[in-house]
Amino acid sequence: MAQDFEGQVAIITGGSDGIGLATASLLAQRGAQVVICGRRQALLDKARDRIAAEGGKIDAVRLDVADDNALAAMIAEVAGKYGRLDMLVNNAMSTHYAPISRLTLDHWRKDFAVNADAVFVSTKAAMRVMAAAGKGAIVNIASTCGIRATANMASYSASKAALIHFTAVAAMEGARQGIRVNAIVPGQVQTAGTEEFSARAPDIAVRTADAIPMGRGGQPEELAQAIVFMLSDAASYITGTALPVDGGKAAQLYMPA
């Protein structure tokens, strides 16, 4: 595999499992120094050990991205330690599933704190470092819920919609500084959480997958390929986009059977 990220430094929030871990592994395989953060130490240790065993350069930081000061400090510390910051992937997420009538303000605020506020904090901190270098790439992980309405997911959907529009604004502000900012818009992805739900409700899982034009959920590695492309010089003229990687779901017009 090409070592086209050799010497570059990447931070991935929510990097200890799922899409974040797959992205961290792929970047490390391609030569990057990767720093992942997450809340659960056991998962961080497991992810770090896996990537290190693959020969990758990896650091792991226990961190709740909802802690604004800790998040900004971590980004500054990573940039100071390695003397640069080339890439940031805002992947950490929070979701609450309930109808609006039962959704609490605390749930709403938690989803926005992780899915929107933390992205603002980390992007601001990263752009400060990247602007000084005259180059950088940021990828924010959104959701099809941010571009299509889904019942019972008001706080998650609204926060992901905010993330998508923030991505476009950040891209406009970063363009003349050599900073590209894009969003990846996943649909259903077969992470550990999705697999756990599928085991509990197999009939719903089958119907959900069948409603996707390609007939299946995506794999974390498929999302990682799209993310890493957006981070790479192969995407050097792409900024301000929100790219669906969802098996065709966002493009689908629903027609009742």
Catalytic residues: 156
CB 57 within 8 A of CB 83: no
CA distance 61 to 46: 12
CA distance 13 to 21: 10
CB 189 within 8 A of CB 208: no
**31: closest CA among 86, 69, 96?**
86
CA distance 257 to 255: 6
CA distance 13 to 33: 14
CB 35 within 8 A of CB 9: yes
DSSP result, 118-173: HHHHHHHHHHHHHHHHT-EEEEEE--GGGTS--TTBHHHHHHHHHHHHHHHHHHHH
